[in-house]
Amino acid sequence: MKNMLLLGAITVLAAQFATAQSPQPALPDAVQQEVDSVMPQVVEWRRDFHQHPELGNREFRTSGIIAEHLQALGMEVETGVAHTGVVGILRGGRPGPTVALRADMDALPVEERVDLPFASQVRTEYNGQDVGVMHACGHDNHMAILMGAASVLAGMRDELPGTVMFIFQPAEEGAPEGEEGGAELMLAEGIFENLRPDAVFGLHVWPIPAGVIAVREGGTMASSDSFAIRVQGQQTHGAAPWAGIDPIVVASQIVMGLQTIPSRQLNATTTPSIVTVGAINGGLRSNIIPDSVEMIGTLRTFDADTRTQIHERVTRTAQQIAASAGATAEVTINLGYPVTANDPALTRAMQPTLQRVVGDRLMESPLITGAEDFSYYANEVPGMFFFLGIAADDPDMVYPNHSPYFYADERALPVGVQAMTALALDFLQAQ
């Protein structure tokens, strides 16, 4: 039963958006030959990164390998961006627009349980604990794919009508406590200031059938914000609740009230939204009503305006329920990643490119309630983010991202290289 929901979603997805057309060649023959020739190296890179994962803002070995490769291709290379990020600039031989391609580099504090000859054995310290480290979200695939695309595109530099920016980004999974990182910091350090791309593309491997590509217009991955609510009551003996103000009862009412925000206070036809309380803490003894209760949770939605409305309604709901009981509620909302929204015009324009790459394996992506900091790039310039299937044929090998059993079928790697290469070429040539 462990994978029934996931496999059900895959089955539904596989029935959508398919066409019966025979796929056209994804790339000209000469370019496809370059893709084929670089694939053994792509596999080698992917396995090496997988075996030697590094956490966010600590991708020192990883970024060194990437920078050395881009320099060997004759690119302008900037290192140390947002701690460990690498940016390569490939200037074509003809004038034209600029397109950015992005891959993330960081792994997760997860101990690998997949039986692979290149499985990670890495351990490190994370938040004061000794942890295993694993590319449990597939970023090893992202880096290897983009390095392969860089090789192919650099080999046709003279024919390129424009410029390609290769962004290798640290800390997509979040920076270590007390640090900044990721896409937001790369932008703050000015990667789009001297050379502003006209479009940005990114991909993410996903547990859908290997080689499938899924994409959708508009909101694709949710915004992810956290909240904390401190309910202040008045402590008293549990045998005399009328002598105080019970923050546990108030907190319970707030939890129920928060659920009416997505179900009753927001336009359900605009976008799905989630308000989740993940923890409630308060009290020490069975016969003491405590002074206060603290709650934490997460807020998710696919629309920027709805995101703002949720923040306002969480604050109002908590404070007014508390006030009705004579208590107070202090609400703190911490902004996380924005909505990852694909530019509709760009997505429609590039859909034929993806169609050429995978034919009837191009599908409409469902909404994904996970979050991605590619959203920051797509808020700056038109962006398109798509999913590349890496699920094995054996359903017992299909696990979600972030699982210690996450497995990526390498049949997806050439599809990823083709897709990123074709998107860059088609975008540059169409402008």
Question: Which residues 6+ apart lie within 8 Å of 154 measured at CB?
Answer: 73, 74, 75, 90
pLDDT at 7 over 70: no
Q: What is the mean pLDDT of residues 358-373?
A: 97
76, 111, 159, 410: which is the annotated catalytic residue? 410
Q: For position 74, what pLDDT does the model report?
A: 98
Mean pLDDT for the chain overall: 94
Domain 223-337 classification at class level: alpha beta
Q: For position 26, what pLDDT does the model report?
A: 84
Q: For position 23, what pLDDT does the model report?
A: 53
Q: Give domain 4-221+339-430's CATH number out of 3.40.50.720, 3.40.50.2300, 3.40.630.10, 3.90.1150.10.
A: 3.40.630.10
Q: Is 410 a catalytic residue?
A: yes
Residue 41 CB coordination number (10 Å): 14
- pLDDT by residue (tens digit) across 100-143? 999 999 999 999 999 999 999 999 999 899 999 999 999 999 99
The Cα-based distances of 242 to 25, 171, 272, 326, 327 in angstroms read 76, 50, 40, 12, 13
Q: What is the mean pLDDT of residues 382-411?
A: 98
Q: Percent of the chain at pLDDT above 70?
A: 95
- pLDDT by residue (tens digit) across 301-349? 999 999 999 999 999 999 999 999 999 999 999 999 999 999 999 999 9
Report the alpha-carbon distance of residue 109 to residue 53 in Å, rounded: 10
Q: For position 414, what pLDDT does the model report?
A: 98
Q: Is 337 a catalytic residue?
A: yes
pLDDT at 8 over 50: no
Q: For CATH 3.40.630.10, list the domain ranges present in the chain.
A: 4-221+339-430
- pLDDT by residue (tens digit) across 291-311? 999 999 999 999 999 999 999
Q: For position 17, what pLDDT does the model report?
A: 40
Q: What is the mean pLDDT of residues 68-74?
A: 98
- pLDDT by residue (tens digit) across 24-52? 788 999 999 999 999 999 999 999 999 99
pLDDT at 401 over 60: yes
Instruction: Return the sign of the alpha-carbon dihedral for residues 207, 213, 216, 220.
Output: positive
Report the alpha-carbon distance of residue 102 to residue 168 in Å, rounded: 6
Closest listed residue to residue 327, CA positions, set 407, 225, 254: 254
Residue 247 CB coordination number (10 Å): 28
**Confidence at 11, pLDDT banded by 50, 70, 90:** very low
Q: For position 24, what pLDDT does the model report?
A: 72
Q: For CATH 3.30.70.360, list the domain ranges present in the chain.
A: 223-337
Question: Which residues 6+ apart lie within 8 Å of 184 measured at CB?
Answer: 373, 376
34, 172, 173, 337: which is the annotated catalytic residue? 337
